[in-house]
Structure 1
Amino acid sequence: MTEVDVTSAALEPGSFRDPDSRVFRTHGRILRLLSERGLADWRAFSASPLFAELVREGKLVGTREAGDVSALPGLHDGVAGVLEHDVVPFVSYPYEWSFGMLRDAALLQLELVRRAVEAGLQLKDSSPYNVQFRGARPVFVDVGSFEPLREGEPWAGYRQFCMLFLYPLLLEAWKGVPFQPWLRGSIDGISPQELRNVLSFRDRLRRGALTHVVLHARLERRYEERDTDLKRELKAAGFR
């Protein structure tokens, strides 16, 4: 493994959501800082045949362990390992994509979820910001999303998939409303209630709408009301 030169290194602001796996750039290289947990997840994933298969198929960015963590003094507390990614020549964002690009990225995400489960793994999230394009082909770039499968748990990325993939696609496909301005204005995407509000009664009867939009919005609203009631009860009991 090569030494990592971190002079003028810059953490990627977009990787703040996962403290176990932070990305930074230095001298044209793309590196990822891993916590102890992140390193364990990476080694479980990289030891799986799925990792090599996805890289070979061009569906996952090439990644390898790089350097000695002692070469990273003071850059990030708790660094247990460092990965280096192949550089994707051109970086784009979901709010810049066409309908077809977002659809292809969504299909890749679902394929990875299915194949990960078959390999005893799972994806902890589901964001189009984890996808880039090489030419017209989507490539998944966040190896930190993979972790060992926990039996019996629902897919944690389902809500995020709906808000950032499914709902923007439905908005444009069913209502003719471009999704790009919405995604540009909201990093979290379109909420179930927001999409429900723009769908007609007929739209709500379309295949998948009842489960993934209407019921999703109803459940979310119910939990929001429960959270409000809990806060009110705690306040009445003297908790501030």
Structure 2
Amino acid sequence: MNKLKIDNSVFNRLRFVLVETSSAGNIGSVARAIKTMGFGELVLVNPRFPDALQAPEAVAFASGAQDVLSAARIVASMEEALQGCNFAAAVSARLREFSPPLIAPRALATQLVQDTDLHAALIFGNERFGLPNELVQKCNVLINIPANPDYSSLNLAQAVQVLAYECRVAALGDAPPVSDIGFHGQAAGLADIEGMYEHLEQALIAIEFLKPDSPKKLMPRLKRLFARTQLETEEVNILRGIARQILTPKQKSK
């Protein structure tokens, strides 16, 4: 991936804006939420307490995302918060009679990823009062998270996490997650696997689990079973070791 493509990624074009946040813990939790999804730009508009970014609760709830927290900006107005953006999306659980077009989180995420000219801000309101109507009306779209209609109240950091997650999934597409967890051995060769089947068949005959004179349905079934596992070389060797141990004459106890 070249530098231009990296710089134009949605991860570098998306800003999270919190308006008049009341809880220091929520600010820290939001920093953590966006960092876990690969984002890092956080702007606070008039938080309702001083030293919002240094508050002990904010630092504690950031839990490893202190870099996002320390890089966050505090501004006095939405105009400052949206400098450099050409698209704004208000996030609200409350629908408005007069509002910009309503859009679902997944559809918005797809739009933000596909339109690389968009430098967007996702705007989240105060925990208790949400966003004022006049601010919502200035945005390009209104995002409503399709939660349980009988209880649609999401915590601020939870709402941020949902939007950040949808944007990450849209950006990554269907690519499988890269993981170094677990052992990944070398795939066994077809000749090695066939030799293992022959060895295993001899062992099963030796213990009279497989009768060579009867219809041989057992081995085809075992082959189908092992074919689904994508055997590795070490696994083939283990199975051959088991077969070898079965076939080795045991010294009778004295």
- Give the TM-score category using the shorter length: under 0.3
- For CA contacts below 8 A with separation 6 or more, give which structure has more relative contact order: 2
Higher helix share: 1
Tell me the TM-score normalized by structure 2.
Answer: 0.23
TM-score by length of 1: 0.24
Larger radius of gyration: 2
